[in-house]
A = this chain, B = another copy of it.
């Protein structure tokens, strides 16, 4: 690392970056709250003394990172966002893929995180959190029919996310969500067999019961086995 360099390269800032940063800081420091509406592009252009295009480029970068949402028409404009976990999860996977992510790494980190996360879930979950998991599992049973097989994958993912949410730990939820995002991409159009569906359902149910009864060891063991097993199913088993 070169933090000891005497000279650092001059940062050639672009105007729209500066504007984007000003707005970003205002949002992060809560000077602008969620749902607040920014002035229109034309007004911002006047205020910042730049062209409208420059404002647009700043808003584009902010929008793409979830800081604002842009709406058209009268009463439209840029509105301060509240974060977009889905977008971040997607971006996480995109970037990891650029770095050379493999399916094995996903499975390994899922085991590491989700097993460890069970401890947080058991510690922090309220009745409502567990209820939501139970409901989701119940809803999954309704779907265990050949003609609704297309919906099963989303439900499988939902279980893991709901368990993560039971931890009430935002970073952890986001991480799990991004790991699940990978599975969703790899298995697009994948229709699990009846056996695979039955296994997944039963496995989720067992894990849930262990968590409910606060049997940490058992829940972790079940989760590990479940992730390993699912990791070898479907298109996922083919390494990237």
Interface residues of A (CB under 8 A from B): 1, 3-4, 16, 24, 27-28, 34, 53, 56-57, 60-61, 63-67, 81-85, 88, 91-92, 94-101, 105-106, 108-109, 112-113, 115-117, 119-120, 151, 154, 158, 168-172, 174-175, 178-179
Measured between C-beta atoms, what is the minimum distance from A54 to chain B in Å?
11
A163 CB → nearest B CB, Å: 14
Given A91-B91, A112-B116, A154-B1: A28 and B105 interface contact (C-beta under 8 Å): no
Copies of this chain, complex-wide, total 2
| CB–CB B119/A28 < 8 A | no
> In the docked arrangement, what's the CA distance between A81 and B53, Å?
25
A91 vs B92: C-alpha distance when bound (angstroms): 10
Show 13 residue pairs from A and B whose CB-CB distance is below 8 angstroms, ordered by the A residue: A1-B154, A24-B94, A27-B98, A28-B94, A28-B97, A34-B98, A66-B98, A83-B94, A83-B98, A88-B95, A96-B170, A113-B172, A113-B175
